[in-house]
Structure 1
Amino acid sequence: MVDVNEGYDAFCDFLEKHSGICLGTSKQYLVSSRLRKILQQESVRNLNELVSAISRPGGQKLKTAVIDAMTTNETLWFRDIHPFRILEEKLLPEFYGQRPSRPLRIWSAACSTGQEPYSISMMIEEYKARNRVFNSGEKIVATDISPSALAAAKSAEYAMLAIGRGLDTDRLKKHFEETPGGRWRVKPGIAQRVEFRAMNLQDSYALLGKFDIVFCRNVLIYFTADLKRDILTRIHATLNPGGYLLVGASEAVNGLGDLYEMVHCRPGIIYRKR
């Protein structure tokens, strides 16, 4: 039996340093449930021994596995529908109306297993067909820290259980094709807009380029106030003039009024780069 109390603080420090995730106090049950398999495989007696094993030469693989296991990959199609309605009713009409000659670029940060970026791509596809928009070259850069989540996202294939979480029958028929194994694959026209990259939000964004819209939703809640401010400040630098940031329903951009202007969309709030 692994003692998850001994070394808990050291493990929390490790996790925050390398992933940005701030566990806080009394989350030993979460650590135990997420790391059960790894703790058994490593035959460690407590979290101090686990952190020591990660720190030894050759511990990179274990470090990656631990961070991957501790990353929350909760997601669904068209999550919290309002951001996608705002994209459809405000952001896409504004972009295609004002910048018809430049390809649209969107960043989906902390994209998990791909449902958000593929949902964005479906919305673009439907909007362009409905409004006879002939622009091309849209790019959605989707990033995540979790290797296993990115592998699932890149495969563009989902079991029926995952498909059923937020995706209606019409969109399933329109944007997916069934595989011989009974799974559902995103059609090439939707998938080709999305480029997946491994990224820790604590790292530099310099190689990402500039964006018109950034989705950074339901991830900031796991970070400290200082790290959150740092991330939001650096996201601002990635936005083109007048670009937009969308955060989660329980998240807000506070204390950065010099960088972002709040835009009320009723329902929903988004942030425009100043």
Structure 2
Amino acid sequence: MEITKPDFALFRDYLERVCGILLGDNKEYLVSSRLRGIMKELEFTALSELVKKMEIDSRLREKVVDAMTTNETLWFRDSHPFKILQEKLLPEICAKQKNLDLWCAASSTGQEPYSISMIIEEFKRSNPGKLTSEKIVATDISSSALEAAKAGQYDQLALGRGMPEDLLTRYFSKHENSWKVNANVAARVQYRMLNLLHSYSMLGKFDVVFCRNVLIYFSGDVKKDILTRIHSTLKPGGYLLLGASEALSGLPDLYEMVQCSPGIIYRKKG
């Protein structure tokens, strides 16, 4: 699939406008590989035809955004955020309340929200009666990723990417060539489709927000807007956890940095 410079610029601008994803220069090869199947199916030869069609076809728009979204993910990615949750945040929250509201803002195919849910189970095993109600709202822009997450069924290859053996046997059940998340882990996770450029007002208020490894795809202005609006979803003193390669800068009035060695998290100000 040949992509001209003007067509690439048109598509790049459109993609950023509808979902915030910022494609770098010279990424024609990426667009070509991700969209080849859709272009062939529609019998389009130029990317400009696809953009024109997306303007009036919301299902096609969703399909294209889905194809352009990276759904690479791991269990317990970077490990220390989950350790911080288990050893610092949950004890701190349980000192003042018995309920937990948590938002996982880029849930992909479910590895992160289920990892969080397993950490909650582990905490409850060690601290009986401390937590009695927990809700994880897990959102993503990709409908196919959300369907996979809701199914909660993973093959050995997917589980090989970070799943500890003891947690696999404790929180999954074997189904022929795959493993399914147990009901006690899955029940507290609520999946919803959400474009991070859109309103968060229907999500509720949270003690903790995981927004990890997604801000890297956005421009500086979009990042700042998302982080400002996440601030309004946090309860007083609530915490924000970002990805290992992501840092919060330029919003000193909204968040204070908390050093956790290893790892940095951010506490809501005001």
Normalization by structure 1: what TM-score?
0.96
Counterpart CA distance in 2 for 1:256 and 1:152 is 35
Counterpart CA distance in 2 for 1:6 and 1:25 is 12
Could you tell me which residue of structure 1 aligns to residue 69 of structure 2? 71
Could you tell me which residue of structure 1 aligns to residue 166 of structure 2? 170
1:120-172: CA deviation from partner (whole Å, max 9, x where unpaired): 00000001101223422200000000000000000011111101110011111
Q: Which one of the candidate residues 217, 238, 256 is aligned to 1:261?
A: 256
Counterpart CA distance in 2 for 1:159 and 1:4 is 39
Counterpart CA distance in 2 for 1:232 and 1:134 is 30
Could you tell me which residue of structure 1 aligns to residue 186 of structure 2? 191
- Residues 61 and 81 of structure 1: is their aligned pair in 2 closer, same or farther, counting only changes over 3 Å? same
Q: Would the aligned equivalents of 1:4 and 1:32 in 2 still touch at CA under 8 Å?
A: no
Counterpart CA distance in 1 for 2:133 and 2:74 is 26
Could you tell me which residue of structure 2 aligns to residue 82 of structure 1? 80
Give 3-state SS (helix, strand or coil) of 2:72's partner: coil
Counterpart CA distance in 2 for 1:113 and 1:53 is 28
Give 3-state SS (helix, strand or coil) of 1:40's partner: helix
**Long gaps (5+) in structure 2:** none
Could you tell me which residue of structure 2 aligns to residue 205 of structure 1? 200
Amino acid at match of 1:16: E
Tell whether 2:213 aligns with 1:218: yes
Give 3-state SS (helix, strand or coil) of 1:41's partner: helix
Give 3-state SS (helix, strand or coil) of 1:98's partner: coil
Superposition deviation, residue 45 in structure 1:
1.4
1:25-54: CA deviation from partner (whole Å, max 9, x where unpaired): 111111011111111111111211111122
CA RMSD of superposed structures (Å): 1.1
Could you tell me which residue of structure 1 aligns to residue 139 of structure 2? 143
Amino acid at match of 1:224: S
Could you tell me which residue of structure 2 aligns to residue 112 of structure 1? 108
Counterpart CA distance in 1 for 2:59 and 2:97 is 45
Counterpart CA distance in 2 for 1:201 and 1:123 is 25
Q: Would the aligned equivalents of 2:3 and 2:28 in 1 still touch at CA under 8 Å?
A: no
Superposition deviation, residue 4 in structure 1:
5.1
Give identity over the alignment, percent.
58
Q: Which one of the candidate residues 241, 248, 267 is aligned to 1:272?
A: 267
Query: After alignment, is 262-271 or 129-138 more displaced?
Result: 129-138
Give 3-state SS (helix, strand or coil) of 1:142's partner: strand
Number of aligned residue pairs: 269
Query: After alignment, is 130-139 or 248-257 more displaced?
Result: 130-139
- Stretches of 4+ aligned residues off by more than 6 angstroms: none
Q: Which one of the candidate residues 225, 231, 249 is aligned to 1:236?
A: 231
> 5 Å matches for 1:55-70?
55-56=55-56, 59-70=57-68
**Long gaps (5+) in structure 1:** none
1:84-118: CA deviation from partner (whole Å, max 9, x where unpaired): 01101100110111223xx1000000110000000
Give 3-state SS (helix, strand or coil) of 1:195's partner: strand
Query: After alignment, is 220-229 or 91-100 more displaced?
Result: 91-100
Q: Would the aligned equivalents of 2:94 and 2:130 in 1 still touch at CA under 8 Å?
A: no
Give 3-state SS (helix, strand or coil) of 1:173's partner: helix
Normalization by structure 2: what TM-score?
0.97
